[in-house]
Amino acid sequence: MTTILEVTNLCKTYIVNKSQHNVLRNINFTLHEGEFVSVMGPSGSGKSTLLYTVSGMDRLTAGEVLFNRKQLSQLSQNEIAEVRLHEMGFIFQQMYMLGNLSVYDNIILSGYQAIKGKGDNRSRSDINEHADKLMRKLGIIEIAGHDIAEVSGGQLQRACICRALINAPRMLFADEPTGALNSKAAKEVMEELCRINREGTTIMIVTHDVKVAAQTDKVLYMVDGNIQGELKLGKFAEAEGVRERERRLNEWLMGQGW
Ligand SMILES: Nc1ncnc2c1ncn2[C@@H]1O[C@H](COP(=O)(O)OP(=O)(O)OP(=O)(O)O)[C@@H](O)[C@H]1O
């Protein structure tokens, strides 16, 4: 199994009003290519901060993050931006779609950005074709020309997934990808993420939803800036049904103090 993400003694400290706030304390974990991991834990335990620091969105204070054999702390801001553009995809709440562009234009934008650099030989029409294919797969091709304000929450989240996948990332990071959705839309988005994962993309998500986490391979439980526990559920096959996995997860979460 190929390691895609190796996190060693990761610490993140914020200074707030001259006092030190240790948000992540000595985090260690490894993800292999093709894994689908979820991060759970109480509010304020550091889940989003963990996602931001391991994905290079935020600088770490101490420790090491090795992503696809690259030590993030040794890269310049520009080099990190390149890794993020070409090798990572993001579904983060604060990465809003641009309101003055259509759904389609929002999706192709980072594709066009990626081909400006070296080493990406795709043409604009390759990007357009890929966007088209992704939007068809995710069932939103009919809203391609719509303004962002005109689409439902579920459609918008699926558009965010298309945008995150436009440069065929090795790994996808998602912060509460189903958090703002009704249960039908959440189910559909989760089906898409499972499918993308089956096709080979490694995924790490933060979620409060047991139904969502039960469909992932592995659950990390955070408390007070530490990973307190890890539950291996194994790959989810839809035929097996999610109920028994939810039961196992709920039981384990209770033991973690959830
Ligand atoms: N930029 C920042 N500056 C200072 N403190 C921060 C900053 N970002 C996060 N924190 C603090 O770090 C702690 C962890 O926040 P984080 O958002 O990672 O938690 P979380 O587990 O994702 O919470 P939630 O489930 O509520 O989203 C919180 O106490 C938060 O106030």
Q: Is 21 near ligand 1, meaning CB less than 6 Å away? A: yes
Residue 244 has a pLDDT of: 93
3-state secondary structure of 117: coil
Residue 49 CA to ligand 1 centre (angstroms): 6
Kindly state if the Cβ of 237 falls inside 6 Å of ligand 1. no
Give me the pLDDT at residue 94, please: 65
Q: What is the pLDDT of residue 223?
A: 98
Residue 244 token pair: 């028994």
In short, whether 53's Cβ falls inside 6 Å of ligand 1 is no
Domain count, the chain: 1
- Which residues span the domain enclosing 105? 3-256
Say what the pLDDT of residue 117 is.
79
Kindly report, residue by residue over 55-67, the tens digit of the pLDDT: 999 999 999 999 9
Minimum-distance ligand 1 atom for the alpha carbon of 41: 21
Cα–Cα distance measured from residue 118 to residue 33, given in angstroms and rounded to the nearest whole number: 25
Rg, C-alpha atoms of the chain: 18
Protein residue with its CA nearest to atom 31 in ligand 1: 44
Q: Of 49, 178, 256, which is best to mutate to test ligand 1, by the most ligand atoms within 8 angstroms of its C-beta?
A: 49
Q: What was the pLDDT predicted at 239? A: 76
Ligand 1 pocket test: which of 11, 15, 25, 47 has the largest number of ligand atoms within 8 Å of its C-beta? 47
12 Cβ below 6 A of ligand 1: no
* Residue 146, pLDDT score: 95
Residues in the chain with pLDDT < 50?
none
The terminus-to-terminus CA distance of the chain in angstroms comes to 32
Nearest ligand 1 atom to alpha carbon 21: 5
ipTM over 0.95: yes
43 close to ligand 1 (CB < 6 Angstrom): yes
Asked if 209 and 183 touch (Cβ cutoff 8 Å), the reply is no
Predicted confidence (pLDDT) per residue in 70-107, tens digit: 999 999 999 999 999 999 999 987 667 888 899 999 99
* CATH number, position 24: 3.40.50.300
